[in-house]
Structure 1
Amino acid sequence: MSGKYFWKLALTAVIVAFCLSYLVPMSDQDFAEHVTERSGDPEFAALVERAKTVSEESQGSDRALSVYMALKSIANEERIDISQYFEGLELESSLRNVEKRNNILLPELLEDSKANLKKGLDIQGGISVTFEVDPVALAEVPAAQRNEKLADAINIIERRVNTYGVSEPIVRPVGENRIEVQIAGVNTKDNPDIIETIKAPARLEFREVHPNADPRTDPRPTGYIEMEEVDDNGDQEIVRRYYVKRLPALTGKYVSDAFPRTNQVGGLEVILQFNDEGAELFADVTERLGAITERGIQTRSGEVGLLAIVLDGQLQSAPRVGERIAGGSAQITGNYTQREAINLANTLNNPLELPLEVVEMYEVGPSMAKDSIDSGVKASIIGVTAVSAFMIAYFMIGGVVALISVIFNVVIVLGVLASYNATLTLPGIAGIVLTVGMAVDANILIFERIREELRAGKSLKSAVEGGFDKVFSTIFDANVTTLLVSFVMLGLGTGPVKGFGLTLAIGVITTMFCALVVTRLMLELLFTSGALKKFKTLSLFNASNIDFMKFRKPAFLASWCLVAVGVIVLATKWDNIWGIDFTGGDEVIMSFTERLDEAQIRDALAAADIGEVNPLYQAQLGGGDELLRIQTGFEKGVPAVEALIKAFPEAGYEMLGKNEIGPSVGAEIQKNALLSIALALGLILLYIAFRFEIGYGIGAVVATIHDILLTIGVFVLVPGHQFTAPMVAAILLIVGYSLNDTIVVFDRIREELTLRPTSKLREVINIAMNAVITRSVLTSITTLLASVSLMVFGKGVINDIAFTFTIGIITGTFSSIFIASPVFYFYHKGDRRSVESSHDIVPEYDWQVSTKVASSGTSKDD
């Protein structure tokens, strides 16, 4: 095997093996079985059996324990070091406290038992916790500021929860003083501290310690309180007591950043960075304490300047201060574990002003009902089968190669996501759909280029090499523009926008790798081995000569008229197009005697004209009867209950309560989504202007805006559709698809301008569009096969996303021909010299070559 093939094969094998290692196991393993098998120690197996017994006996009580928590409790109470049962697992030798060693090891074992690629709330459900703001603290806030303070608390909680991974939680207000948090893939039996971490106030204070009064021997001075610091790093706790000032010298509001760091002795500490005002205040107080220490040394009075660091009323440490500290930073030490240090830094970066109490905790079912998930799986199988059949029928052996490359692509995307411990949600799946679309598109581009080379009379080997060389810049530019969009989403986005951006960024990189390395490797191996002697495909639009520019004005005007109609309808129906995710609504809680499928509930409420509904089943954590929660638009909750009682009298429905819920897509997510799109379009304009020239950039941006507005307009024009949270991902999906299609056309125009130095701009554009029309149609067909399958066979939100994307495919293909190219043409007023004046590649004309030859005193035969 040639060396150039070997390194490609080896690289592909390593990457795929890496990704598969993170994808296995595909689902969570039983914790008890996993740790018992991993340890292999009979003594530890007996300990696990004890934990299983304790767990079983606790079920149904207020403090139900999982096997994991029961094992942790037994080990800590009996001072059993779990690490002794696991060979090869070593903890820091300086960490002698058994409880802390177990608290580090057991969470790692629990995490190791779970699948790396987790499922989101919309697919598998999770926990729902309702917090209530302390009414006494809320009463102290002026009435005009209460909504603002509640909104701040919601944003802070969302940022805290997001540190657990790309989990896309639901955080929204309930009533006037409650906040509901839904988190995917988490249970409080295994993670009892998560709720405390989320609601911790993180009130940080720096207080001066009395310089010489000792609580063991001296009475308490006026203005001071007694506090104690506990050091439990060893087997014996060491308690130090201090007299600390009641009033702080400095508070956490002056902290601009906090992050964990390993110190010089291998322990963990949290570093604090102050803002300018805080740095000055900290310097002043340390200067005062440093003077006390210096005086104590000189007079041998025993006085020392100590600065107590207090978090939520608990003394963390009281370091000695010897001099003024002017660097604007400090550190908190306290023998933290890694998880404790990370959680502390997170809460300090997002301090809550309002204290919260837990009032409800439930396990909730998936927000995307089982029937929607099942129908989505069925629709996906049909779509993939249809695309596979088409690719093989049209491209024959090339189609098989493309499908293998796409499978590799999806495996790599999922594997990389799993390596990040990402959560797979509906927006994330939308990103994978776009990845598959881009991967199929890239292979179609390659195959069409190879066909062109073969028609030019080249050998199969030369055609493959020439095809890949000529298509590289097209694939590179199309994917880089999409990558810019994903980077903006990652930087500015939150919730579904960020999840989509991560999946899309990974997908762009893997698409380029699979198209340019994997597909090429397979084709080269096939023809060098003699298995592939001819590259046969069907043929569509051979040698077409359509005058696209002839129709540019009527097509442009008709399309923008439709956009205008959609915008007008959007404005007139503005208050009615937003779903519960954006507006909030009513939530009714019902008991029942007969459990009905979510699809039956949804169909019955649709027949009663209730509008958008989200049925969810929930169960009290630790046991209790299952309840039904139905989310509807405002003032639709009670009518929904009445409609269900009438439709299913045998189900025994009874309303237990009703709340008003706020939007799950808050103002911050909406603002960041719009800002992301605007910034992405600006970056695309700059990139295309740099790689091509400004006219191309303007054409691409106008076409993308056209596709977004036209898709939204058509979506609103069709009755029965409302904007929901996943629709944000669907719109972003269209941005990526539209850009991909437009760049392909522009790259061919740029190439034809170089190849045809004497042709007019109009002719060049027509030639370019005729050259790529087969690719555009084929890509649209393959993508439509997938999206139409989801639209026809899918249900619920899957149907809405597929409907939106189907519109986007059509508008994206149309705009790349009749919007982007005409705008580029209009910008340059139909004059190719205007393009060449700023083009990155200016062709040399025959007369220029002749002039150069003549001036050099040589001759050249044409």
Structure 2
Amino acid sequence: MKSSIIWKLILSVVIVGWAVLNLLPMENEDFDTFIQTRATAHQDEYQAFLDRAEGRVDDGTPLFLAIKQQADEENLDLYHEFFPDVDLVYVKNQEKRNNVIMNVLYEESRGKLHLGLDLAGGVAFTLKLKDTPENAAAAKVQLKEAVEIIQSRINGLGVAEPVIREVGNNQIEVQLPGLDLEKNPEAADKLKKPAHLEFRLVHRDLVPGPGVTTPVGYEAMILEDEDDKGNIVERPYFVKIIPEATGDIVDRAYPTTGMYGGFEIGLNFTSEGGEAFADMTRKIAAEDKARNALGSGKMAIVLDGKLYSALGLNNGEPITGGSARITGRFSQIEAEELANVLNNPLKFELEVGEKYVISPTLASDARTASIEACLLGAGLVVAFMIFYYLLAGVVSVASVGLSVVVVLGVLMSVGGTLTLPGIAALVLTIGMAVDANILIFERMREELTAGKNPKNALRGGYEKAFSTIVDANITTLITAGILIWLGAGPVKGFGVTLAIGIGASMFGALVISRFLLEILVSVGLLKRISLFGFLNKAKFNFLRVRRPAFICSWCIVALGIFAVATHMNHILGIDFRGGVEITMDFDSAHRPSIAEIDSLAEANDLGEIQAGFQSIIGTSNERLKLQIDTAEGRAEQVVAALQQAFPDSQLTKLSESAVGATVSDSITRNAFLSVAVALVGILLYVALRFEFGYGIGAVVATVHDVLMSIGLFVVVGQYFGIGSGQFTAPMVAAILMIVGYSINDTIVVFDRIREELDLNPDMNLFDTVNLAINRTLSRTLLTSLTTLMAAIALYIFGAGVVIDFALIFIIGILTGTFSSIFIASPVFFWWHKGSRQHVTERHLTRPTYEWETTTRRARDAGPDKA
């Protein structure tokens, strides 16, 4: 076997194997069962210890907490006694170490595949403003700020899919998938920390003690430290009440390893903050020298009223490096959590209210139908690729399948959560991921038609498709990078997922597919690509109808914009506008289902209703929660309809309150900003890689596709009743997918135009553009067809938000295919006034291709440039 095949095989096995390890085990194991056999040392003693701990469970204490309490009571070191195999950064303090061990074990018991609130439910709790401002407007401002900060604390990468929204005029509701508050009861407390950081001076001469009077302007504080054996040691200080500076001078906090073990918090200051901190330490250093008492002056770091560090100067020199550390020998988890809240500080206090378990937000039959639709969509793509491309199709399916495993593995490794729209997006990604394989196969077909043998056709196909694949994916990767950089919440999460998907699909096409095809060619099994020749010799004159097509297209865009403007009050769902939340009690023996409530809402025109069940933690009593729109009288209408439809349920309204949007204004603004900046990035890249006219064509086509997709979605929904015509949170991801699809499709056509300009030096621009479009037509339509099959399956057989998600993507596929031919290419043609010379004069460099020989390049460059 050739070395080129061997290294690709080894690389593929390593990457796919790593991804699989990140996915296994997929399902959660009950912690109480898992912990029974987890010990790897002193099993007999462990079983006896478990028996003692389980005695506490009889009092209502969860086994997770019972084990920690029993270990503390017996002064037992869980790490050394029972779990020495746990990969643990050593923590000296035994109590802390036991806590870390239990958290690690709990994570081990959880499956790697995390499901979202729609599929698996989760937990929720409320956070209330501790001191609600009397001014309602001021309270509203604080709530909005708190929602955004809590969002940032929970969801740094935007892949955890929480629900965070305002409730009433002084509360925030936080819904988290896959969290067990009985095992992690302090989760809510960690989120509510204000993270008010202060830098204060420590009194030089006095320390608290018997008979010592507190100096004016100071307060006594205790610093909890650890000795060499990990025992907690209390060190008292008098600390100045008025701080020298606050957390405003900090640019970033991050966990870092300490000099003597454990973790600390590193602080990087802003440029102004660094100068301010240096000035503070200069004053300390100057007074140290004046007193001839180096090290007597200290700077206290106080967080939320607790003293964490009392820093002395190093050899009496001021700290001018723009950074400092909060010492304390934290565990890694504590350091990461503390750094997180410091990076997202609150300026006011919150307190925890109710904690409750919530059921899946999607009805079970809707979940089942949508998952079956996802499987059908993926199956259609697989069947088509094998039918059309035979053995090469099998290779494509294998590479795309393994790419999906890599995507899921990477996503789970960064804490991703899989929701139903996420699964739908993954299925559509499968349809799009075959694009690179189709490009390669169509190029191989051309090489075989030209008379090359399979081995040379394979090499030539990859060489000719390589630049196109790279250009198409880099432009999409630019979009993903900017979404990660400027986006927030689900927008940033989509950017992360998109970037992972791009990398995985390129790996699948260029590495996995390549070595599999090389094996088939080397053993003589692959002699032809397909039995079919779809539009291989197409000679349509697309540019001849460019004007009417362009005008009609933009008229449709204008119609869509008009529909959006006139229906603005109806097209934004509760996720964007907020609504009213109704809490109802009911007879548990006659529990209405979410599917029945959804059907009732549709039959009686009750507007959008998001229904779910919750039960207060520690009780078995369920409540029905309904989120509805804010139309006047809607609450009374919904309650009356439910009570009439389900008389045996004895539905009783308990409360009603306003709820805010789950997609905040900042997320929406960041989404628009991200797309705008991404378009500029694409323009610059294409202009540098190709030429400016190509960049203009790509940007105009992308804007066209987004506007037309949104407009048509609203038109068919509001005027024809196809889909809801209403935008919910998952629709943001669908629109961003359209951006990626549109760019990819356009770049493929442009790359072929550039190639044909070089290969046909005597052909005019009009004919060259037409030739390029015809040469890529089979690839364009085949890619659109595979993605369209998946999307149509989701639309026909899916349920709930999946239907709208699929519908807008169906529209996006059609508009993206249309625009690459009738928008992007004509804009490029018009930009250059139909002149080939205009294009050539504006090329920064003449493009070269992998398959060109040195002689050919030298000849075309001319005697002065060769």
What is the TM-score when the length of structure 1 is the normalising length?
0.93
In the alignment, structure 1 residue 774 sits paired with structure 2 residue 774: no
CA–CA distance in 2 between the matches of 1:158 and 1:851?
Answer: 57
1:307 corresponds, among 289, 292, 299, to 299
* CA-to-aligned-CA distance 1:313-361 (integer Å, 9 cap, x gap): 2222333354543444332211211111222222222221121111221
After TM superposition, the structure 1 stretch with the greater mean CA deviation from structure 2, 641-650 or 211-220, is 211-220
Q: Which runs of 5+ in 2 are unaligned?
A: 719-723
Alignment of 1:266-345 (within 5 A): 266-297=261-292, 304-321=296-313, 322-345=316-339
CA–CA distance in 1 between the matches of 2:346 and 2:175?
Answer: 19
How far residue 849 of structure 1 moved from its aligned partner, in angstroms, is 6.5
Tell me, yes or no, if the aligned pair for 1:271 and 1:329 is still in contact at 8 Å: yes
CA–CA distance in 1 between the matches of 2:87 and 2:14?
Answer: 28
CA change 1:192–1:163 in 2 (3 A) is: farther
Tell me, yes or no, if the aligned pair for 1:541 and 1:773 is still in contact at 8 Å: yes
CA–CA distance in 1 between the matches of 2:468 and 2:151?
Answer: 40
CA–CA distance in 2 between the matches of 1:30 and 1:282?
Answer: 50
Q: What's 1:102 paired with?
A: 98
Alignment of 1:543-558 (within 5 A): 543-558=537-552
Alignment of 1:54-93 (within 5 A): 54-55=56-57, 57-59=58-60, 65-84=61-80, 85-89=82-86
SS of aligned partner of 1:319: strand
Q: What's 1:859 paired with?
A: none
CA change 1:851–1:751 in 2 (3 A) is: closer
* CA-to-aligned-CA distance 1:21-78 (integer Å, 9 cap, x gap): 11111112233443443424232233334444533x244xxxxx43322212221222
CA change 1:610–1:838 in 2 (3 A) is: same
Alignment of 1:85-484 (within 5 A): 85-89=82-86, 95-135=91-131, 138-139=133-134, 144-163=137-156, 166-216=159-209, 217-233=211-227, 234=229, 236-297=231-292, 304-321=296-313, 322-426=316-420, 428-484=422-478
2:821 corresponds, among 817, 821, 830, to 817
Tell me, yes or no, if the aligned pair for 2:592 and 2:646 is still in contact at 8 Å: no
After TM superposition, the structure 1 stretch with the greater mean CA deviation from structure 2, 355-364 or 385-394, is 385-394
How far residue 698 of structure 1 moved from its aligned partner, in angstroms, is 0.8
Q: What's 2:846 paired with?
A: 841
CA change 1:748–1:402 in 2 (3 A) is: same
SS of aligned partner of 2:346: coil
CA–CA distance in 2 between the matches of 1:90 and 1:568?
Answer: 60
In the alignment, structure 1 residue 633 sits paired with structure 2 residue 629: yes
CA–CA distance in 1 between the matches of 2:450 and 2:861?
Answer: 31
Tell me, yes or no, if the aligned pair for 2:610 and 2:627 is still in contact at 8 Å: yes
What amino acid is aligned across from residue 180 of structure 2 in structure 1?
Answer: N
Q: What's 1:764 paired with?
A: 768
How far residue 717 of structure 1 moved from its aligned partner, in angstroms, is 0.6
Tell me, yes or no, if the aligned pair for 1:289 and 1:323 is still in contact at 8 Å: no
How far residue 261 of structure 1 moved from its aligned partner, in angstroms, is 1.8
Tell me, yes or no, if the aligned pair for 2:359 and 2:613 is still in contact at 8 Å: yes
What amino acid is aligned across from residue 191 of structure 2 in structure 1?
Answer: I
* CA-to-aligned-CA distance 1:803-830 (integer Å, 9 cap, x gap): 0000011111111111111111111111
CA change 1:77–1:816 in 2 (3 A) is: same
1:690 corresponds, among 688, 691, 698, to 688
CA–CA distance in 2 between the matches of 1:431 and 1:303?
Answer: 60
Alignment of 1:488-507 (within 5 A): 488-507=482-501
CA–CA distance in 2 between the matches of 1:245 and 1:11?
Answer: 59
Tell me, yes or no, if the aligned pair for 2:157 and 2:496 is still in contact at 8 Å: no
SS of aligned partner of 1:264: coil
CA–CA distance in 2 between the matches of 1:851 and 1:694?
Answer: 22
CA–CA distance in 2 between the matches of 1:291 and 1:23?
Answer: 58
After TM superposition, the structure 1 stretch with the greater mean CA deviation from structure 2, 5-14 or 145-154, is 145-154
2:648 corresponds, among 637, 647, 650, to 650
How far residue 475 of structure 1 moved from its aligned partner, in angstroms, is 1.1
CA–CA distance in 1 between the matches of 2:144 and 2:530?
Answer: 61
CA change 1:543–1:333 in 2 (3 A) is: same
* CA-to-aligned-CA distance 1:619-660 (integer Å, 9 cap, x gap): 111223111111111142332111111122222211111110
CA change 1:226–1:114 in 2 (3 A) is: same
What amino acid is aligned across from residue 701 of structure 2 in structure 1?
Answer: A
CA–CA distance in 1 between the matches of 2:157 and 2:683?
Answer: 35
What amino acid is aligned across from residue 539 of structure 1 in structure 2?
Answer: G
CA–CA distance in 2 between the matches of 1:232 and 1:540?
Answer: 74
CA–CA distance in 2 between the matches of 1:682 and 1:103?
Answer: 49
1:681 corresponds, among 675, 679, 683, to 679
CA–CA distance in 2 between the matches of 1:323 and 1:471?
Answer: 61
What amino acid is aligned across from residue 345 of structure 1 in structure 2?
Answer: A
Q: What's 1:13 paired with?
A: 13
CA change 1:78–1:745 in 2 (3 A) is: same
What amino acid is aligned across from residue 265 of structure 2 in structure 1?
Answer: V
How far residue 178 of structure 1 moved from its aligned partner, in angstroms, is 1.1
CA–CA distance in 1 between the matches of 2:231 and 2:385?
Answer: 70
CA–CA distance in 1 between the matches of 2:536 and 2:732?
Answer: 39
Q: How many residues align?
A: 841
How far residue 220 of structure 1 moved from its aligned partner, in angstroms, is 2.6
Alignment of 1:728-747 (within 5 A): 728-747=732-751
CA–CA distance in 2 between the matches of 1:489 and 1:214?
Answer: 52
CA–CA distance in 1 between the matches of 2:64 and 2:511?
Answer: 45
After TM superposition, the structure 1 stretch with the greater mean CA deviation from structure 2, 783-792 or 303-312, is 303-312
Tell me, yes or no, if the aligned pair for 1:138 and 1:146 is still in contact at 8 Å: yes
What amino acid is aligned across from residue 620 of structure 2 in structure 1?
Answer: G
What amino acid is aligned across from residue 667 of structure 1 in structure 2?
Answer: D
CA change 1:557–1:133 in 2 (3 A) is: same
Q: What's 1:751 paired with?
A: 755
1:805 corresponds, among 784, 806, 809, to 809
How far residue 752 of structure 1 moved from its aligned partner, in angstroms, is 1.2
Q: What's 2:721 paired with?
A: none
* CA-to-aligned-CA distance 1:397-445 (integer Å, 9 cap, x gap): 2222211111111111111222223222345435523431232111222
Tell me, yes or no, if the aligned pair for 1:427 and 1:500 is still in contact at 8 Å: no
SS of aligned partner of 1:543: coil
CA–CA distance in 2 between the matches of 1:284 and 1:729?
Answer: 48
CA–CA distance in 2 between the matches of 1:705 and 1:783?
Answer: 21
CA change 1:849–1:472 in 2 (3 A) is: closer
CA–CA distance in 2 between the matches of 1:684 and 1:622?
Answer: 53
* CA-to-aligned-CA distance 1:422-481 (integer Å, 9 cap, x gap): 222345435523431232111222221121112112212222221111111111111111
CA change 1:115–1:133 in 2 (3 A) is: same
What amino acid is aligned across from residue 564 of structure 1 in structure 2?
Answer: A
Aligned-pair identity in percent equals: 46
SS of aligned partner of 2:540: coil
2:50 corresponds, among 22, 39, 48, to 48
* CA-to-aligned-CA distance 1:539-595 (integer Å, 9 cap, x gap): 222422111111111111111101101111111111221000000001101112222
CA change 1:338–1:396 in 2 (3 A) is: same
Tell me, yes or no, if the aligned pair for 2:89 and 2:262 is still in contact at 8 Å: no
CA–CA distance in 2 between the matches of 1:36 and 1:385?
Answer: 41
SS of aligned partner of 1:404: helix
CA–CA distance in 1 between the matches of 2:471 and 2:504?
Answer: 15
Tell me, yes or no, if the aligned pair for 1:165 and 1:421 is still in contact at 8 Å: no
SS of aligned partner of 2:296: coil
CA change 1:343–1:536 in 2 (3 A) is: closer
SS of aligned partner of 2:790: helix
